[in-house]
A and B are shown apart, each in its own frame.
Chain A
């Protein structure tokens, strides 16, 4: 292949590969263009939920998922968990999530010394976030 070849001489395979790749890249561009024209994304919408409670040597581990259903990413999200007994707050814990991307979830865990009676005994408060 050291001579320039005319277009018709090029192997069919190259055109097929090129055509498929062009289709996928075009789909990507159309998708991004559509998303871009959709307008301003919604702000971060954060909600925490208990995933599982387990006993560890330091006390009780409450595995938690923080879900962001908004269209923007939240950074440095400070999440507080309150362990309640009726209306009394027994223990409070805080953790920071570095990033909770748009429409994504991140996981963490709180450590309590007393046993949570049920998952409902834990109340979450999202304190705030910064923009990445």
Chain B
């Protein structure tokens, strides 16, 4: 095989350099994706609640999470992909590649930690892998485009309002997913009084607005000097916080943390998870 390849290379030197560069580019892409999957999912791969959730999570909820992940990856690829002209077909391909890389990375690391073993049922193994592959594939997709920014000359995409909301949702999902499965989320909510909860809501809003403000100045596009302070607060910060809260509720429900809980417990837990989620949401506009 190698000698055949070399023979062909010798015959067509021009073509061979193209081949080599496209090969190394594909390799680079996969490397970036795998690196991103690792960076973003290692904390959660090393969280024991996630291993337990692999077999305790309600199967219908896990299925819903997996089913929702694919369109999320496609739209994410659409929004942060490096080429403006990318077609939906490319986006779907990117999403599938990210999912594949996420799966491989998750399986490899779980095997390495001996979280997966021969004595386990297929159901348990599939549950553990499926759950971990989702954050890993989001990481793979984010990294693939994030790390590629340097060699990309294309003009940044125009941010639409819907796009901004979507990016905030991804940021919230991202940071939220990393902490949502831990027992600490509910434990913190048990410890807090309503005053603490109230303070946390206000702090989350304040932090988010700080980020919104910073991005407004960094980009220099959205906020004009005559824009009143409440305009950004009402159009970006508060909807962003609501998105962070909704993502938190969805994650807590998926991980079974909302089962048999009173309304107040649900709200407090959502506000607790909403704090990191809102930071993630606001930071996403800066980073992505």
Contacts and interface: CB of A to CB of B under 8 A. Distances in A.
Interface of A: 1-7, 10-11, 13-15, 17-19, 21-22, 24-25, 28-29, 31-33, 35-36, 38, 73, 75, 99, 101-107, 132
Interface of B: 158-159, 161, 165, 186-187, 190-191, 193-195, 197-198, 201-202, 205, 221-228, 231, 234-236, 238-239, 241-242, 245, 260-262, 264-265, 267, 271
Contacts, number: 100
B233 to A, nearest CB: 8
Given A18-B235, A21-B238, A73-B190, A101 B265 contact: yes
A25 B145 CA distance: 34
A26 to B, nearest CB: 9
Given A1-B158, A28-B267, A32-B198, A101 B226 contact: no
A89 B175 CA distance: 52
B239 A102 contact: no
A31 to B, nearest CB: 7
5 contacts: A11-B161, A33-B198, A36-B194, A104-B262, A132-B191
A10 B190 contact: no
B235 A15 contact: yes
A38 B205 CA distance: 24
The 10 closest A-B pairs by CB, nearest first: A4-B224, A103-B262, A36-B194, A18-B234, A73-B190, A21-B239, A132-B190, A21-B242, A35-B194, A32-B198
B234 A22 contact: yes
Nearest to A74: B190
Given A11-B161, A21-B242, 16 more contacts: A3-B221, A4-B221, A4-B223, A4-B225, A13-B161, A18-B238, A18-B239, A21-B241, A24-B242, A25-B242, A28-B271, A29-B201, A33-B194, A102-B262, A103-B265, A104-B265
B121 to A, nearest CB: 18
B186 A101 contact: yes
Contacts of A36: 193-195, 197-198
Q: Which of B193, B231, B264 has the most CB of A within 10 A?
A: B264
A132 B236 CA distance: 36
A75 B191 CA distance: 10
B227 to A, nearest CB: 7
Nearest to B195: A36
A104 B234 contact: no
A102 B223 contact: no
Contact of B261 (A2, A3, A22, A101): A101
A55 B236 CA distance: 57
Contacts of B265: 101-104
Given A15-B234, A17-B235, A18-B234, A1 B241 contact: no
Contacts of A4: 221-227
Contacts of A14: 161, 235
Contacts of B234: 15, 18-19, 22
Contacts of A35: 194, 264
Nearest to A41: B193
Contact of A7 (B187, B228, B242): B228
A4 B238 CA distance: 21
Contacts of B227: 4, 7
Given A7-B227, A99-B186, A101-B261, A25 B238 contact: yes
B242 A101 contact: no
Contacts of B223: 4
Q: Which of B191, B197, B235, B245 has the most CB of A within 10 A?
A: B235
Given A1-B158, A14-B235, A102 B201 contact: no
Contacts of A25: 201, 205, 238, 241-242
A107 B228 CA distance: 52
Contacts of B236: 18
